[in-house]
Homo-oligomer: A and B are copies of this chain.
Amino acid sequence: MTTVSNGVNVQALLEARDALKGAPEAAQFVWKATSKWQNGVHSTITVKEFYGLGEERAHRKESVFDADHPEVFAAEDNGITPIEYLLVGLASCLTAGVASVAQNRGIQLRSVEAKLEGTHDIRGILGADSDVRNGFNDIKVTFNIDADASREDIEALVAQSQKRSAVFDALTNPTNVTVEVA
């Protein structure tokens, strides 16, 4: 029995894993977002509802995000750029994984910080060079973790988090995206 307290209910997650092994249809989630153009390249995006465990559900509260381009792109900088939201997702997914795995392995965490950098050659999106891709060239994540564990154990935590990360998978492997006009 672990006595560490990282605030993750690992017992519930292990029970969910067992339960969903026999109920694959309950494991089908649908994450949702709606967006509304404001002006220029500024838009607001709302997230509240999702579907899972066989029914429509909702977050405790609605979250609204602003996205825009910085002034150096001749825009108003009313929010971070769309591509930066991918870094927000990656940082939080890997961090949640570190906390969950640490809890499961009985490792007490004191602090987990990460620094992310995504390099991006903007000639792609501007159409200045058709050999340059539109997205990131690459992304580097550097963790600083203070925990009751050896460096080796900390590196193993991070490796396991990566192995089970939804966002790490979504960025390192292709996903089919369909875009339609209603």
A interface residues, Cβ below 8 angstroms from B: 6-9, 12-13, 16-18, 20-21, 24, 27-37, 39-43, 45, 47, 50, 52-53, 57, 59-60, 63, 65, 67-75, 77, 79-96, 98-100, 109, 111-129, 133-145, 151, 154-155, 158-159, 162, 164-182
Contact = CB atoms under 8 A, between A and B. Distances in A.
A134 B94 CA distance: 12
Nearest to A96: B41
A86 B87 contact: no
Given A37-B109, A60-B71, A86 B89 contact: yes
A177 B141 contact: yes
A124 B72 contact: no
Contact of A88 (B45, B92, B162): B45
Given A94-B179, A135-B173, A158-B181, 14 more contacts: A7-B40, A13-B74, A31-B117, A37-B99, A52-B70, A53-B72, A85-B167, A127-B164, A135-B170, A140-B178, A144-B181, A144-B182, A168-B177, A173-B174
A152 to B, nearest CB: 10
B83 A166 contact: yes
Contacts of A20: 122-123, 126, 128
A49 to B, nearest CB: 10
Contact of A180 (B42, B70, B77, B140): B140
A128 B89 CA distance: 23
Contacts of A89: 67, 82-86, 89
Contacts of A16: 73-74, 126
A114 B35 contact: yes
Contacts of A162: 179
